[in-house]
Amino acid sequence: MLHPSVGTELGFTNNVFYADENTHAAGLLRLVGEFAVASKDIEADKVDETFLEEDEVPAEPAAQRLRFRAGGKLSYTEFLSNDQNVRSQRDLAADLGANLVVAPQGRVSFSADEHFIRDTRPVNFYSAEGTDRIANSLSLGLTYQPGGRTMKAGVRWQNQIDYFEDADQRFANRMINALHAQYEWALFPYTKLFADASYSFIGGFASEGGEIEPAKRSASPIRGGAGIATALTELFTVKAHLGWAYASYDGGASYNTPVLGAELGYRYSPVGRVVFDYDWDHRDSVNGDFYRDHGLAVRIDQQLGRVVGSAGAELHLRAYRGVASGIGAESERNDVIVAATAKANYVFRDWLAAVADFRAESDQTEYMSVGGDDPSYSRVEITAGIRAAF
């Protein structure tokens, strides 16, 4: 089954270069193409029960041997401005993914996941260059599902590569290899327990020819934890997890700390839901050795007739540790990140909709780069357009 869609959007941003001062505004023209190709689920043939023998049960459909889905999104953005440096930020972003499961209903199944992102963004000050980055994640796993399917356990290998296209920024290139062990138990029809443990290998790699040495320090983080996802009632859902994380970077910073999070959802109407989320986490970072994050978020999804919309807000108290000396004068950086988003779709037909997106974000810090630049910024982006699916 093939599912293509296309769209075009017009919009505006007040801060093309994510700058703290001397901001540059510009109009936006964005062309979007999305596609997906997927296997079709096996369905039981319709049977006229008048032809069945007494006490005969219709035959079950054959077990699916292969399930796959591949697709993605391509987005081309043109900046509408008289400034050549602004116009030079035009670029093509990509978000592509694929999933394959062999014997999804079998006792032992194999899965493969691939996710490719080309993230395009101007640098944090007035320049014709950008911080275009390719991020690729590949995951291969085996899952064991005993009869009854109430429990399953598995192992998974994951590889992540971050590669910066500009030669001057390739010192931040990194690679992460992680081994995961996972377990899930459907304790009740609407309650699931889960656990995960991982051991990773992190390091940097130089650009072609080795002319730029990587700034990324090596580390072998260890993480483990357990959690629960349940529906308290038809209206309330809860997810929570608690674990521990440890990492020591070669010649750099380290952490040895608990990690935790919780999500509370409330369906206040048949077509409306609100979700509150909190996370305390430590993760590897391209800006330093790692970052520590307090994250608070709220999201509302609502349908009003033909309009389907969502809105959200986020607050992150983020601390980077082990920042390389070639990036900034200090090895520690503390940021306050605030963001608000809203989007709405008006459905004209099953295949045609009007879309609108709004995003406002602010990242404030007292940190200064080695060149004396302030990476703080505030930015608003608004777009609206048409999407058609075929």
User: Which of 195, 263, 197 lies closest to 231 in space, CA to CA?
Assistant: 263
Confidence (pLDDT) at 64: 83
pTM (two decimals):
0.89
CB atoms inside a 10 Å sphere around CB 79: 21
H or E segment at 87? helix 84-87
What are the pLDDT digits (tens) for 237-279?
999 999 999 999 999 999 999 999 999 999 999 999 999 999 9
Nearest residue to 31 (alpha-carbon basis) of 75, 93, 73 = 75
| Mean pLDDT of the chain, nearest integer | 91
Sequence spans of domains, the chain: 5-389
Q: Which letter does DSSP use for residue 348 in this model?
A: S
> Which uninterrupted H or E stretch holds 81?
none
pLDDT exceeds 60 at position 57: no
Main-chain dihedrals φ then ψ at residue 170, nearest 5 degrees: -75, -5
Instruction: Check residue 30 and give its pLDDT.
Output: 97
Question: What fold characterizes domain 5-389?
Answer: Porin (2.40.160)
Averaged pLDDT, 103-119: 94
CB atoms within 10 A of CB 270: 7
Least confident of 149-153, 254-258, 273-277, 353-357: 149-153
pLDDT at residue 214 in the model? 82
The per-residue pLDDT for 160 is 96
Contact 238, 262 (CB under 8 A): yes
DSSP, residue by residue, 108-143: EEEEEEEEEEEE--B-SSS-S-B--EEEEEEEEEEE
